[in-house]
């Protein structure tokens, strides 16, 4: 019997025990088997087609989900960058304020230095150059 060919044809019925009636019954059984094989094959093809469609739909759904996830990730990253810029922007203004105050204080110190420089130098030179010999209070004279 062929798998996909014509249904099998059995030989004459004279060798069978029951004669022509049994041959006809055998032919009917063989035909029924053949038809059942064809219906199983048809069902197999239908199942394969359904699975292929299902796989295609699953693949498409996966691709759509990945695109949606990527879009969501980009949106969240954009929000994070905006919040980070806002936080660092305020931090940057604090740094700018501190630098400005430092420069103002440095300029005041420089002005005071220039104003008091001559007075301090003259006092220092007078103390160094004017020598007054004296005996220290802690010095003990042997006696």
> Does the pLDDT of residue 13 top 50, yes or no?
no
pLDDT for residue 104? 96
Q: Provide the b/e sequence for 21-54 (b: ≥16 CB within 10 Å).
A: eebeeeeeeeeeebeeeeeeeeeeeeeeeeeeee
- Give the separation between CA 49 and CA 43, rounded to whole angstroms: 10
Cβ-based neighbour number of residue 134 at 10 Å: 6
Range with lowest mean pLDDT among 13-22, 29-38, 94-103:
13-22
User: Structure tokens of 33?
Assistant: 């088997």
pLDDT digits (tens, 9 = 90+) for 85-103: 887 766 667 778 889 999 9
User: Structure tokens of 121?
Assistant: 């130098």
* Helices marked H in the chain: 20-129
Residues ≥6 apart with Cβ < 8 Å to 37: 3
Closest CA to 13 of 3, 30, 28, 26: 26
Q: How is the chain split into domains, by residue range?
A: 7-132
Kindly indicate the confidence band of residue 17, based on its pLDDT and cuts at 50, 70 and 90: low
Residues ≥6 apart with Cβ < 8 Å to 16: 22, 23, 26
pLDDT for residue 19? 62
Rg (CA), the chain: 55
The stretch 76-85 carries a mean pLDDT of 91
Half-sphere exposure of 11 (CA within 13 A, CB side): 3
pLDDT for residue 133? 86
The stretch 98-113 carries a mean pLDDT of 95
Kindly indicate the confidence band of residue 70, based on its pLDDT and cuts at 50, 70 and 90: very high
Kindly indicate the confidence band of residue 9, based on its pLDDT and cuts at 50, 70 and 90: low
The stretch 35-59 carries a mean pLDDT of 88
Residues ≥6 apart with Cβ < 8 Å to 29: none
- To the nearest whole percent, how much of the chain has pLDDT over 70? 83
């Amino acid at each position: 019997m062929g798998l996909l060919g014509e249904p099998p044809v059995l030989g004459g019925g004279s060798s069978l025990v029951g004669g022509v009636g049994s041959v006809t019954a055998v032919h009917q059984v063989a035909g029924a088997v053949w038809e059942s094989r064809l219906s199983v094959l048809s069902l197999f093809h239908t199942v394969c087609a359904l699975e292929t469609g299902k796989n295609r739909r699953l693949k498409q759904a996966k691709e759509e989900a990945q695109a949606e996830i990527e879009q969501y990730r980009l949106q969240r990253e954009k929000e994070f960058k905006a919040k980070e810029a806002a936080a660092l922007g305020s931090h940057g203004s604090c740094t700018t304020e501190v630098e400005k105050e430092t420069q103002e204080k440095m300029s005041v110190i420089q002005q005071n230095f220039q104003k008091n420089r001559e007075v301090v130098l003259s006092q220092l030179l007078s103390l160094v150059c004017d020598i007054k010999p004296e005996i220290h209070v802690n010095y003990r004279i042997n006696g």
